[in-house]
Structure 1
Amino acid sequence: MSGEKSRSGAAAHAPVGLRERKKQLTYQAVSDAAIAMFLERGFDKVSVAEVAAAADISKPTLFRYFPAKEDLVLHRFADHEDEAARTVAGRADDEAPLDALHRHFLTGLAGRDPVTGLCDNPDVLAFHRLLYGTPALVARMYAYQGRSEAALARALGGGVAARLAAGQIVAVLRILAEENWRRIDAGESADQVYPGAVEAAELAFAQLRSGLA
């Protein structure tokens, strides 16, 4: 940001930033309360009214934040909806989109990012078991992935070719994450899975390059 920006301009944007931050804190607090209840009793056995009461808000207010019950859980994926698109948009001028996405995924594996499926933190494992063990949540997750796919297609330039590429890329990222999660859920540690996860990612991106070249 340029140092030429006026103080009055910055001040004018400050309240908007504060409101947005408070909104995000509310999102997080309600989502955390809901997930805790879902983990304890099961997604289908907790009503939206119970979540609203636990969060000390009305049911209509809850639905203003979360249009569907499933969104209370999938809110944790909201920040990642446009992650692939941001990776492509923010890459160096001399870096190809697939190379940027490949690098980003490998970085996520090395950092045990839960989005890559390669995380054996007990809280993350419990969350993933809730997610993948609840058909309604799995179905809703596809809507989030559809928005991720649309954002990536726009970052790739739009058009049919970009949409085809984005669909394949998002599918590959999902399959890689699910495979990592499957192995960890079966009892392997993240460190044990890591070498195979890297090998699978190398294979996946090689296939994307040969198919999308």
Structure 2
Amino acid sequence: MVDEREPGNGGANGPGLRERKKQRMYEAVSDAAIALFLEKGFEKVPVAEVAAAAEISKPTLFRYFPTKEDLVLHRFADHVDEAARVITARPAKRAPLDALQRNFLDGLERHDPVTGLCDNVHVLAFHRLLYGTPSLVARLYGYQERSEQALGEALAEAQGDGILAARLAAGQIIAVQRILALENWRRIDAGESTEAVWPDAVVAANRAFGQLRSGLARYA
């Protein structure tokens, strides 16, 4: 029997055909843009050149990516609500800060680029592009604000707190993770190996989450 559900609805088995095609388009256009930006520099590549490389029209490109910066920061899209998802999916008896700390330490162990502890040449080149372009850094803060909002909502629901108190806690948590990742990346970018940085990164993460527990006892 033919499944007559709308392809874009996905159903119980995950995303439908329409959503998968849309996701592939996002990735293909973003990859083409980043390759050009790495080769020539972000400011020197017009959007029209990206559209031509991706074999789509400029209006079509802007339907997928409202700004030029979004072509790069699309790679962060899946991580915007990561902290919130960790809170939602944690075991009932695990404190929110414990779950977030465990998630960050696991990321360090597998050298997840989000933790900054990754010496893959392509990841390093991407981070140099990102942190070396002021407009991308500015746009990145918008993604981090959305992460704070999502985490704040998850904390409020998990603890039954008011949204303001939860957002204040979320802001501190996201800031800690950002600073830890940035420090790891700076050391890797300076030439240190992941093996050399990893022990210090673990110590720094444990210390940082310990400080969070002191100030955010409600979530510890």
Q: Same fold (TM over 0.5)?
A: yes
Q: Secondary structure at the match of 1:95?
A: coil
Two-structure CA RMSD over aligned residues (Å): 1.3
Q: How many residues in Structure 1 have an aligned counterpart in Structure 2? A: 206
Q: Say whether residues 1:184 and 2:195 are aligned partners.
A: no
Q: Secondary structure at the match of 2:5?
A: helix
Determine the structure 2 residue equivalent to 1:79: 78
Determine the structure 2 residue equivalent to 1:163: 167
Kindly, what percent of the aligned residue pairs are identical? 72
Q: CA 1:13–1:97 in structure 2 vs 1: closer, same or farther (change >3 Å)?
A: farther
Q: Say whether residues 1:66 and 2:65 are aligned partners.
A: yes
Find the aligned partners of 2:113 and 2:172 in 1 and give their Cα distance.
21
Determine the structure 2 residue equivalent to 1:206: 210
1:87 CA drift (Å): 0.3
1:11 CA drift (Å): 5.2
Find the aligned partners of 2:96 and 2:63 in 1 and give their Cα distance.
36
Find the aligned partners of 2:145 and 2:165 in 1 and give their Cα distance.
16
Find the aligned partners of 2:17 and 2:212 in 1 and give their Cα distance.
42
Please, what TM-score do these two structures have when normalized by structure 1?
0.94
Q: Secondary structure at the match of 1:102?
A: helix
Determine the structure 1 residue equivalent to 2:90: 91
Find the aligned partners of 2:178 and 2:98 in 1 and give their Cα distance.
17
Any stretches of 5+ residues in structure 1 without a counterpart? 1-6
Q: CA 1:15–1:165 in structure 2 vs 1: closer, same or farther (change >3 Å)?
A: closer
1:28-54 CA-to-partner distances (Å, cap 9, x unmatched) read 000000000000000000000100011
Q: Tell me which stretches of 4 or more aligned residues in structure 1 moved more than 2 Å.
A: 13-16
Please, what TM-score do these two structures have when normalized by structure 2?
0.91
Find the aligned partners of 1:94 and 1:11 in 2 and give their Cα distance.
42
Find the aligned partners of 1:107 and 1:18 in 2 and give their Cα distance.
32
Any stretches of 5+ residues in structure 2 without a counterpart? 10-15, 157-161
Determine the structure 1 residue equivalent to 2:139: 140
Determine the structure 1 residue equivalent to 2:5: 12
What is the identity, as a one-letter code, of the residue corresponding to 1:41?
Answer: K
Find the aligned partners of 2:209 and 2:40 in 1 and give their Cα distance.
40
